[in-house]
Structure 1
Amino acid sequence: MPGEPRHDFGAPAPRHAAAPAPDPAGFPARPATAPASGGPAPAPGPNAPDPGAGFGVPASRSGGHGAAAGDASAGAGGGPGTDGAYGGPVSAAGGAPGVPPRPDHPPTLPDGSGHPPTRYDGPGHQPTLHDGPGHEPTLHDGPGHQPVQVPAPPSAPPAPPAPAAGPRPAGARVCVACRSGQVDTDGYCENCGHAQPRERDHQEEALESVAAVSDRGLRHHRNEDSFAVAATALPDGTTATVAVVCDGVSSASRPDDASAAAAAAANESLLSALPRGANPQQAMHEAIVSAADAVNALAAAPGHQNAPACTLVGAVVTHGILVIGWVGDSRAYWVPDDRSAPPARLTEDDSWAAQMVAAGLMGEAEAYADVRAHAITGWLGADAYELEPHTAAFKPDRPGVVVVCTDGLWNYAESAEEMARVLPADAAARPLHSAQVLVGHALDGGGHDNVTVAVVPFPVAPRPHS
């Protein structure tokens, strides 16, 4: 993010003491507590626009340089058994003393008379297991006693059936990790416990004339970038396309809120001014002032260590005119459809590196290799030294594409030539796909920062017939 060294925050920490097992989806696991239902617990610088770039010289320019054990239940019932020979009941008490056994059912004796025992446990009247033919196994207590059946341990009651899963409430979120659990109000899956991605972690929006993609990246714990894209009708019946991209300053308080407030305020201001016939460049200047006011208002909330802040870059494409406005180090690039023509960078960074180059103290390569290169000297926020919105207007003489992005992208394609190589050749026809490709390029390069880009095709107005 601008104005700070890169930090590896990682993914959100799991809400339990033990370290969770890694998940293919990359989300931390929630504590594996037993569900309330009682079921089983879940498993655990800068280049000014090049006059020879081939897209026309600036029409005008204003603004300066800003300052995450099994139940062994018996198979049979627990009641008395039946005698295999007679089918009558067998006493479960072993018989009263002095009652002779049935003459046709001689007792099992240690000396082998009657039915031979299968196991002999010693002399005297030790119990023996009787397993004679046609009889159930019985326990014999010696001569003069009735044989008794070995009592079976009582069987455990059957487990109640698991309650059937009810229908998922309308609008309920489904876990992106297990694809089946419902996400609770805290943002965790009730089935597998994984934290879910925030809504702003990855966002895409596409209109007919513009598309934008924003991604959290691979190192930051939240997305502090924001964007707004829109289209509106002008008084002459033509269409104006708007794209605004903001990058929250991570060293400030509430950077995500700052970028969202700035993007929304600038977009609203432009959509209010342009349909009334306002000059696009003046409308861009006023939009940046409105964005600054929105960010300044956030500083009024108590508990801030420092004021919320962000950078901003915006583009307005109207009938034959391209207007760019910016504060900070977010950038805009021009890439012609004819890749044999040179591309160009349309903005100048408000950064330490840019100041060193402008003052002639360092070359561009040396300045941007310095650890202080990304320290910004201009931003939107209550603690900004002075608000100096930069605006510039261009009249390209050929069709092309405007790329509006944060430093999370241009860190991996800094020069206009590098950006042109990464941008797909059909960007004008497929702006959303092109924005996705650019974000993917940054993620493949390491994704050390949040990445946001808007792609705005610029069609050349037809020449009037003489």
Structure 2
Amino acid sequence: MTQMPQLSACPSCEEPLESGDLFCGACGYDLSAVPPPNPGDDSTVLLTAASTEQARPAAAPAPPGTARPVRSDGVPEPPAPDGDYALPLPDPRAAAPAAAAGPAAATRTMCVACRAGGVDEDGYCENCGHAQPRERDHMERELDTVAAVSDRGLRHHRNEDSFAVGATALPDGSPAVVAIVCDGVSSASRPDEASAAASQAAGEVLMRSLPRGTHPQTAMHEAIVAAAGAVTSLAGGPGRDHGAMEHDPHRHENAPACTLVGAVVAGGLLVVGWVGDSRAYWVPDDRSTPAARLTEDDSWAAQMVATGLMTEADAYADERAHAITGWLGADAYELDPHTASFKPDRPGVVVVCTDGLWNYAEAAEEMARVLPNDAADRPLHSARVLVGHALDGGGHDNVTVAVVPFALPQPGAGSA
């Protein structure tokens, strides 16, 4: 009998494996579908500065007529704003590189399990039948001053959250950091598209406005308005005439919708903006000082508490607690962007997240307990820890969190 190759980690989710495992205990990956390594493959490669330069392939010239990069779904990427700006990147395991076998094979997605068959439009291998990981199931991005992680969770069949993070500079040269997190409304149509459109639109506006000298709070308001417009435009659906929609009595029926929360750290200011029940928390580096929630939910529970009809404990224990009263989308009652500006007197971290996280760390002091003490120095690690906390708690919803360190401006630095 052919001996199966011994693997130390799952090729699909990288979960550690025990000797003799036939399936991954985390994702169910069929380990029998993994072929033996090629004879020429080295198990370990020592990388030095010289070997890294030699191994790095030369950049291929852009084909004639190519204006800008194209994503895997065929949609051109938007022009990059000034500074570092990043939409979430899919897990690289979701699309293995195709074997070079002519022009058709160059664009063909190969199976991550058998690495021999192509993937059909339903996401299954035509050779071994293995279901392929979806590109949005787990996403991570890290810049020098901000990091974000999004995960499908343990109960939902897809990830309907999205995020955008960026770093740029104000006109005086001081840094500005941006984080946007959006949560698709599952009861609406195409919530995943809504969150992606909103996060991209809001991020782009902030990355354009801040370098021009727009006040961060004004820029945040404009970003939310742009995000709302992007989600509203989805209500027409593919091939619909958006002009004719104004006279269509059913144009808003089950329209795509999402919530949004964002943070900007710039010029010694911390600005947050939101619509819906996604939240931002402030956690100081000195944990002996109190943490704080910076946003107020647009939700049934928040309304009950604000009007004095119920205590906070009773309101959030009610089954109607998470019914939102504000969102982005064509069927929103009205667009009411909330923004707030703060000037912290000490360094700390801003946690920007969907309810998939704060359901498991609702109070500010709970969030502070879960957040690692070195969050300001290791934002990506901290975002992973927070997502892991939600998954360990049950992972009932998609989980998305951005971690934004806040440092006091240096003496003599300009302010927004």
**TM-score, normalised by the number of residues in structure 2:** 0.70
What residue is the counterpart of 1:442 in the other structure?
A: 390
Distance, in Å, in 1 between the alignment partners of 2:117 and 2:285 is 46
- Map 1:336-375; keep pairs closer than 5 Å: 336-375=284-323
Distance, in Å, in 2 between the alignment partners of 1:183 and 1:363 is 56
Q: Which amino acid in structure 1 is aligned with residue 178 of structure 2?
A: V
- Map 1:158-177; keep pairs closer than 5 Å: 175-176=111-112
Distance, in Å, in 2 between the alignment partners of 1:439 and 1:171 is 33
Residue deviations 1:150-209, cap 9 Å, x none?
xxxxxxxxxxxxxxxx87855765544x46444414322344312111111110000000
8 Å contact from structure 2 (residues 110, 119) kept in 1: no
What residue is the counterpart of 2:180 in the other structure?
A: 244
Q: Give the deviation of 1:216 after TM superposition.
A: 0.6
8 Å contact from structure 1 (residues 274, 283) kept in 2: yes
Distance, in Å, in 2 between the alignment partners of 1:27 and 1:222 is 17
What residue is the counterpart of 1:111 in the other structure?
A: none
Distance, in Å, in 1 between the alignment partners of 2:195 and 2:309 is 32
Distance, in Å, in 2 between the alignment partners of 1:425 and 1:253 is 40
The answer to whether the aligner puts 1:253 opposite 2:189 as a matched pair is yes
Q: Which amino acid in structure 2 is aligned with residue 202 of structure 1?
A: H
What residue is the counterpart of 2:3 in the other structure?
A: none
What residue is the counterpart of 1:263 in the other structure?
A: 199
What residue is the counterpart of 1:413 in the other structure?
A: 361
Distance, in Å, in 2 between the alignment partners of 1:170 and 1:208 is 34
Shift of the 192–25 alpha-carbon distance from structure 1 to 2, 3 Å rule, reads farther
The answer to whether the aligner puts 1:229 opposite 2:190 as a matched pair is no
Distance, in Å, in 1 between the alignment partners of 2:118 and 2:399 is 26
Residue deviations 1:199-239, cap 9 Å, x none?
11110000000000000111111110000001111110111
Corresponding residue SS for 1:385? coil
Q: Which amino acid in structure 1 is aligned with residue 292 of structure 2?
A: A
8 Å contact from structure 2 (residues 252, 330) kept in 1: no
**TM-score, normalised by the number of residues in structure 1:** 0.63
Overall identity of the aligned pairs, in %:
75
Shift of the 399–182 alpha-carbon distance from structure 1 to 2, 3 Å rule, reads farther
The answer to whether the aligner puts 1:315 opposite 2:316 as a matched pair is no
Distance, in Å, in 1 between the alignment partners of 2:290 and 2:412 is 26
Distance, in Å, in 2 between the alignment partners of 1:183 and 1:365 is 52
What residue is the counterpart of 1:380 in the other structure?
A: 328
Distance, in Å, in 2 between the alignment partners of 1:175 and 1:363 is 53
CA RMSD of aligned residues (A): 2.3
Structure 1 unaligned runs (5+)?
1-20, 33-165
Corresponding residue SS for 1:196? coil
Q: Give the deviation of 1:384 after TM superposition.
A: 0.6
Distance, in Å, in 2 between the alignment partners of 1:354 and 1:191 is 52
The answer to whether the aligner puts 1:293 opposite 2:229 as a matched pair is yes
Shift of the 175–285 alpha-carbon distance from structure 1 to 2, 3 Å rule, reads same
Distance, in Å, in 2 between the alignment partners of 1:192 and 1:378 is 46
Distance, in Å, in 2 between the alignment partners of 1:205 and 1:23 is 26
8 Å contact from structure 1 (residues 313, 330) kept in 2: yes
The answer to whether the aligner puts 1:220 opposite 2:156 as a matched pair is yes
Q: Which amino acid in structure 1 is aligned with residue 383 of structure 2?
A: A
Higher mean displacement: 189-198 or 292-301: 189-198
What residue is the counterpart of 1:188 in the other structure?
A: 124
Q: Which amino acid in structure 2 is aligned with residue 408 of structure 1?
A: G
8 Å contact from structure 1 (residues 220, 449) kept in 2: yes
Distance, in Å, in 2 between the alignment partners of 1:434 and 1:175 is 32
Structure 2 unaligned runs (5+)?
1-21, 34-98, 241-250
8 Å contact from structure 1 (residues 431, 455) kept in 2: yes
The answer to whether the aligner puts 1:456 opposite 2:404 as a matched pair is yes
8 Å contact from structure 1 (residues 27, 194) kept in 2: no
Q: Give the deviation of 1:26 after TM superposition.
A: 3.1
2:143 is matched with which residue: 199, 207, 211?
207
Distance, in Å, in 2 between the alignment partners of 1:220 and 1:236 is 45
Corresponding residue SS for 1:436? helix
Shift of the 229–459 alpha-carbon distance from structure 1 to 2, 3 Å rule, reads same
Distance, in Å, in 2 between the alignment partners of 1:171 and 1:402 is 40
8 Å contact from structure 2 (residues 357, 401) kept in 1: yes
Q: Which amino acid in structure 1 is aligned with residue 376 of structure 2?
A: A
Structure with a larger share of its residues in helix: 2
Q: Give the deviation of 1:397 after TM superposition.
A: 0.5
8 Å contact from structure 1 (residues 226, 260) kept in 2: yes
What residue is the counterpart of 2:67 in the other structure?
A: none
8 Å contact from structure 2 (residues 120, 126) kept in 1: no
Corresponding residue SS for 1:421? helix
Residue deviations 1:81-136, cap 9 Å, x none?
xxxxxxxxxxxxxxxxxxxxxxxxxxxxxxxxxxxxxxxxxxxxxxxxxxxxxxxx
Residue deviations 1:242-262, cap 9 Å, x none?
000000000001100000000
8 Å contact from structure 1 (residues 27, 196) kept in 2: no
Residue deviations 1:358-404, cap 9 Å, x none?
00011101100000000000000111111110000000001000000
2:275 is matched with which residue: 312, 319, 327?
327
The answer to whether the aligner puts 1:398 opposite 2:333 as a matched pair is no
Q: Report the structure number with the largest CA radius of gyration.
A: 1
8 Å contact from structure 2 (residues 199, 227) kept in 1: yes
Q: Which amino acid in structure 2 is aligned with residue 231 of structure 1?
A: A
Distance, in Å, in 2 between the alignment partners of 1:254 and 1:389 is 22
Distance, in Å, in 2 between the alignment partners of 1:404 and 1:366 is 25
Q: Which amino acid in structure 1 is aligned with residue 275 of structure 2?
A: V
Corresponding residue SS for 1:427? coil
More RCO (CA 8 Å, sep 6+): 1
2:377 is matched with which residue: 423, 426, 429?
429
